[in-house]
Amino acid sequence: MRKLIWAGYGVLATLFGIGLAHLAAALTHPAASPVLAVGSAVIDRTPTPMKEWAIRTFGSADKAVLVGSVLAGVLVLAAVAGVLARRRFAVGAGLLVALVAIAAAAVLTRPEAEPLDLVPSLVAALAAPAALRLLGRTHHASAAREGGDGRRALLLTVTAVGAMAAVGGLGGRLVTRLRARPEDVALPAPADPAPPLPRGLDDQVPGITRFRTPTADFYRVDTRLDVPVISADDWTLSIDGDVDRKVTLSFDDLLAMPLVERDITLTCVSNSVGGPYVGAARWLGVRLTDVLDLAGIGSTKADQILSTDFAGMTISTPLALATDGRDALVAVGMNGRPLPREHGFPVRLVIPGLYGFISATKWLRRLTLTTYDDQQAYWTERGWATDAPIKISARIDTPKALAELAAGEVVVGGVAWAQERGGIAGVQVRVDGGPWVDAQLGPDGGDDYWRQWFHRWSAAPGSHRIAVRAVAGNGEPQAAVRAEPFPNGASGLHELLVRVS
């Protein structure tokens, strides 16, 4: 029982240190919070197959699972530190400091680390042992005193330390939310607006994906555990490398350029066949070619654009594809509002027709014209493809796999996409390996936008397998050969089983 009590002291002291460190990070640099720094280091060192497994298994909860796992490991060691401190305080406190040292090392290994980023770790290194010392002394004093006064003093101390830990953690979150709010930014009207989006099948086919993805529902897949807090007032974009002249733009400089508005579907390369990591939105931004022209790239020998985010994360985009006439944007808005923090505020890249890992850099800071021989980006170093056009795909949204259906008419529906191939010209449905039957298409939102579809099926009792395939506007059919997402995107037909009674 005594060991359990001291283990609890170790855990509570560590939570106290983490809470105050999180508050310090919110006031300085949120990414420097110790737990987040360790989690980010774990992500960077995790093998690609394990990352893919985490995304398949946990989906958008993968970050919460990782942070929870890191925190659980830290708290187990914190409990050990508490037990050790029962006999020798210096040993237990030393273990807590060693844990903080690991976090500090993780902070310093980030590409754009600054000395100020060590402040949260230093706060944790001071606060956790101090709290452990206070709890230990109060415990010994309580044991030496008779009656209830000692127990009351110990209870008050435990409560105060726990409350301070909670205040630090919650206060850090509140401060982060109040800093550099996207909703405080006013965006100009586009010089080249998108035409009104046709009304989709949202209300006509129950269960079908909405024609325009609400911002709150848009998928998020990136290497960040936190949501970066960046001020538009302090933001700059540098264009450098193999250019005629280096250019640096402020946020106001970017907004002063002609803004265009486009409806574009984005897809993550980790999206499996029939997976959820695809979304369609209306984006506002400056043409990427207009930004590059400011630096002059006419005589460049570069074959890639190496884009860098606020923390040094790099993504490479084939220069030829980014400048071939497609609506590649340095984006500032999403669905009529400034970019949310989760999706890259204040500025990100949006390049249609290419998977996000080579086209959709969030929290953008730098565009460097270079060659693949000279520099490799984050995903290139991990074996992913350098040229990854989004593959033609169709997905069944309704009915769901293994659904129990009533016999009679069943509406099968979903979405399909074929960017930079003339959009979707046709979708076909097959039941139980029979003939392919043309589905009815929803409205056309443009070549770079997905398309809804549906098919009315007369379902007979029994188990049935439903499959779907798409055909692009240029006549290219969807590939039936199955492939995993690594290294250049999944392929194969989406099929599912249902039961009709």
Domains of the chain: 2-178 (no CATH), 215-381 (3.90.420.10), 393-500 (2.60.40.650)
Peptide bond into 399 cis (omega under 30): yes
Rounded to an integer, what distance in angstroms lies between the CA atom of residue 303 and that of residue 338?
A: 31
pLDDT at 21: 92
Helices (H), 145-247: 149-178
Q: How many residues in the chain?
A: 501
Rounded to an integer, what distance in angstroms lies between the CA atom of residue 422 and that of residue 370?
A: 30
| Residue 295: C-alpha distances to residues 78, 300, 325 (Å) | 52, 11, 18
Which residues have CB under 8 Å from 146's CB, separation 6+?
none
Nearest CA-CA partner of 226 in 416, 450, 37:
37
Give the chain's end-to-end CA distance (angstroms, integer): 58
Longest dimension (CA), the chain: 88
Per-residue pLDDT of the chain (501 residues; tens, 9 = 90+): 788 999 999 999 999 999 999 899 888 877 788 877 787 777 777 777 776 777 677 766 776 777 788 888 889 999 999 999 998 999 999 999 999 999 888 888 876 678 888 999 999 999 999 999 999 999 888 877 766 677 888 889 999 999 999 998 898 888 877 877 899 999 999 999 999 999 999 999 999 999 999 999 999 988 887 788 899 998 999 999 999 999 999 999 999 999 999 999 999 999 999 999 999 999 999 999 999 999 998 777 999 999 999 988 999 999 999 999 999 999 999 999 999 999 999 999 999 999 999 999 999 999 999 999 999 999 999 999 999 999 999 999 999 999 999 999 999 999 999 999 999 999 999 999 999 999 999 999 999 999 999 999 999 999 999 999 999 999 999 999 999 999 999 999 999 999 999
What does pTM read for this prediction?
Answer: 0.82
User: Residue 468: which H helix or E strand, with range?
Assistant: strand 462-472
